[in-house]
Structure 1
Amino acid sequence: MFKLIDIPKIEDRRGNLSVIEHDCIPFDIKRVYYLYDVPSDSYRGGHAHKEQSEFLVALSGSFDVILDDGVEKHTVMLNKPNKGLLIPTKIWRELENFSSGAVCLVLASGAFEEADYIRDYDQFKSFKST
């Protein structure tokens, strides 16, 4: 369903460095975007993708990712810049509980295409049952 992935971390007295390369995630990156300045009482996401996979990283702060495969729900807190969450296709996701200063980096397997989104939960449940 989903997978937490360790991002290599190079530790140095001057600070840490993490690198995401082609062998870290199972897709070629086609789009990069990030969420920031999200009020703590707001949420993001609220959709699933038919074909696109995503990899989320909390570059700063923390937030919860609620994942729903149509049968089970799981909540994953992201709060370390060297851990990423791989979300495969056909998984409903919601992001909430953003801490002050949280930054969510998203690496996506596809360019933005509205037809790939399922934005209605009932339609998602119907899509999953077919």
Structure 2
Amino acid sequence: LIYLSLLDYLYYLTDIRYVSIIFILALWQLLFYHSLELNFHIFSLFITILFFSLFSLLSQLIYKKESLGLGDILLFIALSPLFTLDEMILLLLYASLFGLTFYAIYFLFTKQKLTRLPFIPFISLSTLWGIIAKI
């Protein structure tokens, strides 16, 4: 996640190979360690795919551009097997709050508006927050 965060922050890019590895590891971890809660995590994966697919489609139709990058969406989907649906909603909320806080601080210090905001660093930070909260 650190590599993806730096890549997104510096170049607004995502390496799909690393997102795929995260997804495979999340599924592997799910199958071996969450056998009692398997249905909750599969449901979370399904709803996350459905939500972000509809979100992407609607933002394309309404704004005629993507409001959330495909890399951000794929990373959320890749991480979803690790969390329940409630935890995924919190993950999205915290990532958004971290992003808004960063934008506000950036604007206060530079007086410049950002045209694009790299979101993967905030997804990574909220994922770390979510994992620590589980412990």
TM-score bracket for this pair, using the shorter chain length:
under 0.3
User: TM-score normalized by structure 2?
Assistant: 0.20
- Higher relative strand content: 1
- Higher relative helix content: 2
